[in-house]
Amino acid sequence: MAFNSHDLQAAGASSPPKRSDLVAEEIKRLITAKNLLPGDKLPRESELQSMFSVSKSTMREALKSLEVQGLVKVSTGPGGGGTVVEVPLDRTFQLMQNYLFFKEVRIEDIYQVRKLLEPELAASAVPFLTDAHFAALEENIACCDPSAEHVDDPLAQRQEEINFHDIFAAACPNPFLRFSCEMTNEMIRQLTVFDNEMPLSEQQRFGSANTGFHRKILAAARERDVEKVRDLMSEHMQDAMRSVKRMHGKLEGRLILDSEMSRRNVTRKARRGGKKA
């Protein structure tokens, strides 16, 4: 499939896109048309070159563009080439943060969204929670309990508490609701900072309140009481917002670097014991 002047004009009026960008768009159409799923391989690079009548350098640039977007993973050597991958949440979060960097987003704005979405997400997840989910929720509560022995970093505990909500998200049957809550949770986890002068007792008070709500929510979820889970999660979000305000919490408005994202992921996985909730 060769490109002509009409393709260029249709893609952009005054400043036509690069040829490699057009090829990247056509590869996206190919993925859709063939219903390729994560793990499926694209045609070989030489086949793609012939298909779109472009040079090797143009094709590699197009594949690199898709790789940066998180849609494709490119490997070299025998049997290498492009493989369709699922866009990771971290990459999506980073792109969203780049966008929000130029907006004035307050932590109150984030909690306004959480108060609306988290109760519905938790309620919708209840019928789909498995024994593995319940075990992960129990483990998270034990890990985040401020009264537990050897608590070295209360702030790390508060960040770990977000994983409780991610476990519910993993069981949510609505992919868009799950995505919205995971993105909101990631913003809270990655970007919230507190007043350095806040006494340890205040942090422990916040942690104790969270642990109490999490235990009640888990008990209601085990009973498959959807309405009780919804009500408890709504109360939990209201209380969490009051605590964050009391601790002078705010969003740290800055760009997230690739290297920093990778480092945080390694740390988070280590705290989870290498398991993905």
The tens digit of pLDDT for each residue in 137-193 reads 999 999 888 876 655 666 677 778 899 999 999 999 999 999 999 989 888 887 777
CA angle 115, 119, 122 (to 5 degrees): 140
Decide if 275 is inside a domain.
no
pTM: 0.71
Statement to judge: residues 121 and 240 lie in one domain: yes
Statement to judge: residues 262 and 172 lie in one domain: yes
Tokens of 59: 């094709």
Statement to judge: residues 66 and 102 lie in one domain: no
User: Considering only CA atoms, which of 109, 269, 97, 98 is closest in space to residue 190?
Assistant: 97
pLDDT over threshold 80, residue 74: yes
What mean pLDDT is predicted for residues 19-47? 93
Percent of the chain with pLDDT over 70: 79
The C-alpha atoms of residue 141 and residue 213 are separated, in whole angstroms, by 10
Decide if 9 is inside a domain.
no
Domain that holds residue 23: 17-82
Decide if 7 is inside a domain.
no
Statement to judge: residues 124 and 55 lie in one domain: no
Statement to judge: residues 47 and 97 lie in one domain: no
The tens digit of pLDDT for each residue in 230-270 reads 999 999 999 999 988 887 788 776 555 565 555 555 444 44
Count up the domains in the chain and report the number.
2
Q: Does residue 44 contact residue 25 with C-beta atoms inside 8 Å?
A: no
pLDDT over threshold 60, residue 124: yes
Statement to judge: residues 133 and 236 lie in one domain: yes
Helix or strand run (H / E) with residue 135:
helix 131-144
Q: Which of 49, 67, 82 is the last residue of a domain?
A: 82
The C-alpha atoms of residue 54 and residue 115 are separated, in whole angstroms, by 51
Q: Which of 27, 55, 82 is the last residue of a domain?
A: 82
The C-alpha atoms of residue 238 and residue 191 are separated, in whole angstroms, by 20
Statement to judge: residues 63 and 138 lie in one domain: no
Statement to judge: residues 95 and 222 lie in one domain: yes
For residue 268, what pLDDT is reported?
46
For residue 276, what pLDDT is reported?
40
Percent of the chain with pLDDT over 90: 51
Q: Which of 82, 109, 126 is the last residue of a domain?
A: 82
Statement to judge: residues 25 and 148 lie in one domain: no
For residue 88, what pLDDT is reported?
77
